[in-house]
Amino acid sequence: MSRVALACASHTPLLMREELADAETVGAVQASFDQLSGFVKDFAPERIIQFSPDHFHGFHYDLMPSFCVGAAATSYGDYGTAPGPLAVDEDYAVAVLNAVRDADIDAALSYDMIVDHGFVQIWEVMFGRLSDLPITPIFVNAIGFPLPKYRRARQLGEAVGRFAARSGERVLFVASGGLSHDPVVPRMSGASPELRDRLTGRAPLTREKQAERERAVHAAGLASLAGEGSCRPLNPEWDNAFLDMICASDWSATDELTPDSVDLAAGAGGNEALAWVAAASAAAAAGGGYQVVQRDYRPIPGWIAGMAILAAHGRDDAL
């Protein structure tokens, strides 16, 4: 059996909201996640290395890294996800960081990482929990422009994958985010003084402000469902072209992507595809390539997301 596996899934604040999608769609997405959860259970990972973004809950413009490895992490608990600590192996996380830096990727380190639905949602939909899973979280900045290059995300993943391959353990690489996705994302450009204070972390996000934020996203989902509002339309053509790149391990194609071009084609959340590139390139480096066993996709306007789910086994030629 392969000692390497890959699991990637879109996330959205509005995931599984039945008032924003028809019953057939909700059922199909749940069935896809059920299939993915079966894949993860059968693989029985000893380690999970997850690449995901944050949405100004844990990382702010007071100091915004391109990448950050978490040696300890806590779920914020937004959009219905549960708050609480993750089961992070501190020594393993630091070893991952050292391997990344040995590969000349200067990732940051956090002993107090805050993660949000971008990390947690995939696990709660599949298993209803997160706290006991052996996750090493790696933050990928996909929201706070300027963003890292896609080539750099691929190099990060390859460094992590080479490290994981040396362990001989069963390692699951995970990405959560995207694909085409244009939710309400604040930008520093043109921001009011109040918003700048929040984006820099000077004004902590209160639970009242978080509830206000969640109501605004829900309203945007209702408008998107009706074909109205400010959210740009989903882009299934781009989504499927990107999935083709990942399925084929076409790193020359992903290297050519730019944050600006992806934002233009796939929306303000489209650059969460950076996490997919990092996780997939890690699995390819650790497993001597990989074979895709699940690829599901459907655009869901009310959830403001091109929903994609992908799973793959490593070929293990490199082990």
The catalytic residue positions are 117, 181
- Encoded tokens for 129: 């929990």
- Count of other CB atoms within 10 angstroms of residue 296: 19
Q: Report the distance separating Cα 247 and Cα 167, nearest Å.
A: 25
- Give residue for tokens 């972390």: 201
Respond yes or no on whether the N-terminal peptide bond of residue 97 is cis (omega within 30° of 0).
no
Q: Determine the angle formed by the axes of helices 259-266 and 236-247, rounding to 10 degrees.
A: 130
Q: Which helix (H) or strand (E) holds 184?
A: none
Q: Distance from CA of residue 311 to its chain's centroid?
A: 14
Fill in the amino acid letter for 268.
A
- Secondary structure (3-state) at 315: coil
Beta bridge partners of 47: 171
What's the rounded Cα separation, in Å, for the pair 64 and 102?
22
Could you give the CA distance from residue 134 to residue 170 in angstroms, rounded to a whole number?
A: 12
Short-list 30, 82, 51, 15, CA closest to 154: 51
Phi (first) and psi of residue 203, to 5 degrees: -110, 100
3-state secondary structure of 250: coil
